[in-house]
Structure 1
Amino acid sequence: MTTIGTATTLGRKSVVQTLGGAPHVSNRRLSLSKRPTYFGLRRISGDLWQHAASSLAPRAVNKGKHSCVSVCCASNAAKYDHSVHAEVVQTDFVVVGSGIAGLSYALRVADHGKVAIVTKDVAHEGSTRYAQGGICAVLDASDSVESHISDTVVAGDFLCDLRAVKMVCSEGAAAVLELVDMGAEFTRSSSGDLHLTREGGHEHKRIVHAADMTGREIERVLVEKALAHPNIQFYENHFATDLVTVQEGDATRCVGIDVVERATNKDIRFVSAVTMLASGGAGHIYPNTTNPVVATGDGIAIAARAKAHIANMEFMQFHPTSLYVEPDENAAVSRESVFLITEAVRGEGGLLYNAAGERFMPKYDSRLELAPRDVVARSIDDQLKKYGDKCVYLDITHKPAEEIMEHFPNIAAHLQHSLGLDITKDRIPVVPAMHYTCGGVKTGLKGDTSLPGLYATGEVAYTGLHGANRLASNSLLEGLVYSIKAASASTKYVETNARQSTSLFENAAEEFYSREVSIPPEDPKAVKYALNVLMNLRRKLQATMWENAGIVRSNTRLLDAMEQVKRLRMELEAISAEVDIHSLATIDCELKVEHFELLNLFTVSELVVVSAMMRKESRGLHFTTDYPYKVEGERRPTVINTPLKSARKKIRRKLTLNRSGIGRELAQ
């Protein structure tokens, strides 16, 4: 977190860029030979914020859709070895993430102001693109909103916020049909209607899908719409590092976000009336995950550092059926994602067998293969530990081959290419893998967080919809519905608050401009060594979390996880001092990103462990051998609303003094 007036973080003095958007300054970049004057902000031509820099217009050059003011200062040869670059970009809305949540939100607010979409990779990369199964919508006459509500609450093990569930289930169909109107080409039945399938935990067929590549189709439509909107600017390959906050008396307000441009290693501060986190989950705190490589919990971590409230981080969903592949000892496993075998395979009749050829789900749950994900994942985990096997097998070969190929063409092609398997004839080797973060930045029904000016939607957020376990295909729906709600609320927030905060935004830009940092000589060997160290620490962290805070937990394991994460942090600090990673990161962007990602993984891992320690029961995705049953008194969200460092100390002290019970003082 960067707090204006109270703290400073890494930064550099030399370039300031201000984004406005008035017709007379649009598409302009202004080069000055000295520090710029901060001009007054005003409302012009329908834009919520404008930067009045018309007097500088004759020196403008083209810079995309937005105008900017920049300053380039030559390096002091005695202190720096080369020029240092930084920018400040001013906009109405900044969105971190370009999946269904971020893009849906951006398209809504873009009619009310300028929008900057900051995305860690290319625009279409993220969890949405890899979603296979589909998106829920109550569209069939035999189905009902009440049934969808019931299925969601049961899957969430009765920990859901009923207000959130009712809102999403009631408004879901209209939101999905809006995607159809935008041009999403979902699979149709022979009658021409949207084809609906069923997945685990659902009483009815209500999953709208595009074969087994639903997320890719949704992402295609939304990216195309966003690229075509004149008020939306993409900033691809920009990595968010911290929120920017200001103090207003006792209150803290978010006024933007700091990022690094990966192509140039340039530090950029986005100063905005509204910051929307839509950055996805945190799958890579574990070694086995279906999440894309960008899912390192960045949004959750930076919000936690800014002291935003975080909730229900103990509930990490492990998808029961990811493709098992023999491990490659030479591969960088800490950065790889496993291939997901969608829930829909079981929804269409797929059966689970152990290595001995025995169908085992009848031993665990009356719902068999269609039990909720937490039940199926623990059942598979129990089979693997009981018999020492590496995987179990998913069998859909009893279904007609034409039907299999029609519904699952992407899975069939991937398995044929990677393992030489024919899913119409061969069983699929599967194991559980971390899949979805049910907790996150705590929000209200309109995506608002505990920090004014900061909103969150999608997997990065805890909305209360999922409770202790997410129902299949509710994730895309949540991101869609909450983005619509957040767009309406945040637009009103800008109109109400923005014009009263001119000085706060100017101070945020001024503070960023005034920072300085020394640049060391280039040292490729030191950079390579530092990168290897960071990757090794990442692997150790992932192994610790898988062993001690994975599918099955205990007080002893969780305490061990906390101590090991603490030791790994200390190891990072020692090595950082030894090779000066902070300085090396100023000359190597890969190192800078790896360093920030590791810090974020540490933060999210600690949030998971602390939250798990706070819950004295087993519920949904959280199963602990010390408290194997549900407890009615524990049926409430786990909220961390104090600095994480304080939370760790309280939990460690409680658990060390009394191994038989863990306090919940940190929860509201």
Structure 2
Amino acid sequence: MTTPVNDPQAKTPVWEARADLVVIGSGVAGLTAALRAQALGLHVLVVTKAAVADGNTRWAQGGVAVVLENEHDLDDSVAKHAEDTLTAGAGLCDEAAVRSIVDGGPAAVARLRADGAKFDVAASGVLALGREGGHSAFRVIHAGGDATGAEVERALVAQAGQTGVPVLEHHIAVDALLTPGGRVAGVTVLDRHGVPGAVRASAVLVASGGLGQLYQATSNPEIATGDGLALALRAGAAVADVEFVQFHPTVLYTPGARGRCPLVTEAVRGEGATLVDGVGLPVMRGVHPLGDLAPRDVVSAAITRRMATAPGGVGDHVFLDATSVAGFARRFPTVFAACAALGLDPAVDPIPVTPAAHFSCGGVVTTVDGRSSVPGLYAAGEVARTGLHGANRLASNSLLEGLVVGQRVAEAVAADLAAGLLADPARGRLPSRTTAPAAERDSLQRVMSRYAAIGRDADGLAAAGSVLDLSLSDTPLWTHAGVEDAALTVVAQALLAAAVRRTESRGCHVRSDFPGPDEGWRRSQLIRLSPSGQPVLADPIPLEGAA
């Protein structure tokens, strides 16, 4: 499988491997794709920069939004699920993509259950259903109360182990190998000690998750640094909708917290909990017809406004009153444990919460089969922009998307290989560059949190861009930290470029200097890298979408 390459300076690969498909990331999209590709007879290799079970998927609490035959609310339907998704997306969803992915949900969940995933069952014997923000019905299936992601990941990892899917742990993907004609033919990687290698493959699937570490506080794990998005940009792919970063309204507040913060799933609000400020006044009263179950962008913005009107304008949290939720510890064991660690009992104590970076709605522009604009490069999951999410993700659609598109990517790769559309891996050239511009991470996170989070304006976005420009330095791509910092930097630059240009407020993108939506902006912005490596805006995607 591997071939040693003699390089005493260890600046070019010291080993090579070959595969039909290399999957970057071991979350729901990546493992679903890997399992299906192997079943189709492809030689697959999964590359993940942590342990196989340490991706974003395991932290998903709420569940999978899906309308299952004979196991749904009487008034619910797949069509209503699609309509709720379109409403949450604030005019920027690709309607055809939404309907395609939502339609694929029931079959995807059936496959997952066949692979061993166990979901919570109601007293009636059918799957228990929850309701979350933006949903007009109870349609969210869950596992372990609020540990759905952990169960999905467990089932997929177990299935991958049973079927012998090879996994290269603790390796970070750095850059794509490109043929002279610009096709992707593999990737370079680094192990945890900085030893470089290369995986030559006809197809590369980027399924590396999100970019929550752009911000000081996030629900994402430490590995969510936008590496896959940066790799795709450098390979020539287009990205879109990166200005739309969803802030989850309720992560558990602890003073001075940095990095990953415990999530308080909005399913708690689905069971009747309410948001209140420091003097007990409801935060969502009169804000939206769905009240506490309004879409996430609406709730996060309302909390931010309420914090700004606190005495002195320095409020940094509100409270979630869940004292009316019966059996809290049983229904939400993960949240209960996080509260207990702070000495809180949700049965009697209001839970301090604050918004934090949660989900990137944009990413690599792909079809609903995961194909990007670069032959041989595919993307799925949070790193991809299929058109499902638009300007704001509907709660619990992310696991659904990973399951549906992950399966389809494998089938697309098999079809493209059979049709002779992909490159000969032997023709892939190793990247010539060994450095990339990178900002100091703490400075980047502070400036993005201050100027490019929920509330934005032209002056703040310009200030953020200036700080980044002044703090750039050429960083060798010989360590995991170096690759991550370079990725965070180029992703931050792309986000700022798109946010500056979008002079309106829509979905997750809230501009205080342009507080309302503008129908002239009912389109997605494309971003590519210039020859010098700078993110630049390209032609917009028209309303009917590019997915």
What is the TM-score when the length of structure 1 is the normalising length?
0.76
1:632 and 2:535 correspond = no
Residue 647 and residue 667 in structure 1: after superposition, are their counterparts in 2 closer, same or farther (change >3 A)?
farther
Could you tell me which residue of structure 2 aligns to residue 395 of structure 1? 321
Q: Does residue 407 in structure 1 map to residue 327 in structure 2?
A: no
> Which residue in the other structure is 1:276 paired with?
205
Distance 1:103 1:468 in 2: 27
Partners in 2 of 1:464 and 1:85 — Cα distance? 36
For 2:35 and 2:413, the matched residues in 1 are separated by 13
**Residue in structure 2 matched with residue 312 of structure 1 by the alignment:** 241
Letter in 1 for 2:468: V
2:50 partner amino acid: D
1:599 is the counterpart of 2:486: yes
What pairs up with 1:326-475 in 2 under 5 angstroms? Answer: 326-327=255-256, 333=258, 336-387=259-310, 388-400=314-326, 402=327, 404-416=328-340, 418-475=341-398
Match of 2:146 among 197, 200, 212: 212
- Structure 1 residue 102 displacement after superposition: 0.2
Q: Which residue number in structure 2 is paired with residue 29 of structure 1?
A: none
Say if 1:305 and 1:643, in contact at 8 Å, map to a contact too.
no
1:292 is aligned to 2:292: no
Query: Counterparts of 1:83 and 1:369 in 2: how far apart (Å)?
Result: 53
1:83 to partner: Cα distance: 11
Correspondence for 2:507: 620
* Partner residue, 2:443: 540
Q: Provide the C-alpha distance between the structure 2 equivalents of 1:83 and 1:434, rounded to a whole number of angstroms.
A: 35
Identity within the alignment, %: 39
CA change 1:378–1:501 in 2 (3 A) is: closer
Q: Are 1:184 and 1:217, in contact at CA under 8 Å, matched by a contact in 2?
A: yes
The CA distance in 1 between the partners of 2:528 and 2:433, in whole Å, is 32
Letter in 2 for 1:565: L
- CA separation of 1:321 and 1:102: change in aligned 2, threshold 3 A: same
Q: Is the 8 A contact 1:134 1:473 kept in 2?
A: yes
Deviation of 1:366 (Å)? 2.4
Alignment match, 2:16? 88
State the distance in 1 between where 2:11 and 2:356 align. Answer: 45
Mapped partners of 1:188, 1:220: distance in 2 = 18
1:198 to 131, 138, 146: 131
2:28 to 73, 78, 100: 100
Q: Which structure would you say has the larger Rg?
A: 1
The answer for the alignment partner of 2:178 in structure 1 is 245
CA contact (8 A) 1:136 1:473 kept: yes
SS at match of 1:450: coil
Q: In the TM superposition, what is the alpha-carbon distance from 1:372 to its structure 2 partner?
A: 0.4
> 1:187, 1:144 → 2: CA distance?
21
Deviations 1:537-569 (Å, cap 9, x if unpaired)? 211101111111110111121111111111121
Q: Does residue 1:109 correspond to 2:37, yes or no? A: yes
SS of residue paired to 2:395: coil
Structure 2 SS opposite 1:489 = helix
Aligned length in residues = 530
What per-residue deviation string (whole Å, max 9, x for no partner) do you get for residues 45-86 of structure 1?
Answer: xxxxxxxxxxxxxxxxxxxxxx3332456x5xxxx6x99971
Report 1 or 2 for greater relative contact order, CA contacts < 8 Å, sequence distance ≥ 6: 2
Structure 2 equivalent of residue 554 of structure 1: 457
Q: Deviations over 1:234-266 (max 9, x none)?
A: 000001111111122xxx21111111011x422
Task: Say whether the 8 Å CA contact 2:185–2:423 is kept in structure 1.
Answer: no
In 2 relative to 1, CA 179–431 (structure 1 residues): closer, same or farther, beyond 3 Å? same
The structure in which a higher percent of residues are helix is: 1
Corresponding residue for 1:589? Answer: none
The amino acid of 1:407's aligned partner reads: R
Match of 1:227 in 2: 161
Q: Specify the SS of the correspondent of 2:482.
A: helix
Give the drift of 1:495: 1.6
Cα deviations by residue, 1:361-401 (Å, 9 ceiling, x for unpaired): 1142222101000000011001111113221000110122x
In the alignment, the residues of structure 2 paired with residue 593 and residue 496 of structure 1 have an alpha-carbon distance, to the nearest angstrom, of 36
Cα offset, 1:516, TM superposition: 12
Match of 1:302 in 2: 231
Does 1:480 pair with 2:403?
Answer: yes
Check the 8 A contact 2:101/2:368 in 1, yes or no.
Answer: no
Q: Distance in 2 between matches of 1:439 and 1:91?
A: 29
Verify: 1:260 aligned to 2:190, yes or no. yes
Matched, 1:187 2:120: yes
Q: Which amino acid aligns with 1:632?
A: E
| Aligned pair partner of 2:3 in 60, 69, 81 | 69
Deviation at residue 406 of structure 1 after TM alignment: 2.2
Q: How far did residue 667 of structure 1 move?
A: 5.8
Provide the C-alpha distance between the structure 1 equivalents of 2:217 and 2:433, rounded to a whole number of angstroms. Answer: 40
Shift of 1:617: 1.6
TM-fit CA distance, 1:408: 0.3
Residue 644 of structure 1 and its aligned partner are, at CA, apart by 8.2
Letter in 2 for 1:300: L
In 2, Cα distance between equivalents of 1:667 and 1:448: 16
Deviations 1:520-550 (A, max 9, x none): xxxxxxxxxxxxxx9x921110111111111
Q: Identify the match of residue 56 of structure 2 among 119, 127, 147.
A: 127
SS at match of 1:247: coil
Counterpart amino acid of 1:365? Answer: H
Residue 666 of structure 1: how far off its partner (Å): 6.1
Post-superposition Cα deviations, 1:325-381, rounded to whole Å, max 9, x if no partner, equal 0226xxxx3xx2111000101111110110111112114222210100000001100
Matched, 1:506 2:409: no
Secondary structure in 1 matching 2:187: strand
1:433 counterpart SS class: strand
Mapped to 2, the partners of 1:516 and 1:96 lie a distance apart of 21
Letter in 2 for 1:461: A
Q: Confirm or deny: 8 A CA contact 1:405 1:412 kept in the other structure.
A: yes
Counterpart check, 1:567 vs 2:488:
no
The amino acid that maps onto 1:182 is D
The residue identity in structure 2 corresponding to 1:179 is: L
Amino acid at match of 1:603: V
- Choose the corresponding residue for 1:495, options 418, 440, 455: 418
Q: Quick check: 1:647–1:666 contact (8 Å CA) kept in 2?
A: no
In structure 1, how many angstroms separate the alpha carbons of the residues matched to 2:105 and 2:263? 25
Local SS of the residue matching 1:215: helix
Residue 5 of structure 1: aligned partner: none
- Which whole-Å CA distance do the structure 1 matches of 2:232 and 2:428 have between them? 18
Change (3 A) 1:276 1:85: closer
Deviations 1:92-119 (A, max 9, x none): 1100000000000000101221110000
Amino acid of the structure 2 residue aligned with 1:241: V
Give the distance between the partners of 2:444 and 2:455, measured in 1 at CA. Answer: 17
Shift of 1:496: 1.9
Q: CA deviation at 1:142?
A: 2.7
Q: Which whole-Å CA distance do the structure 2 matches of 1:106 and 1:437 have between them?
A: 23
Secondary structure of the residue aligned to 1:497 is: coil
CA deviation after TM superposition for structure 1 residue 665, in Å: 5.5
Query: TM-score if structure 2 supplies the norm length?
Result: 0.93
- Note the residue ranges of structure 1 that are not aligned, 5 or more in a row: 1-66, 518-533, 577-581, 587-591, 652-663
RMSD over aligned Cα, in angstroms?
2.2
CA distance in 2, matches of 1:542, 1:432: 15
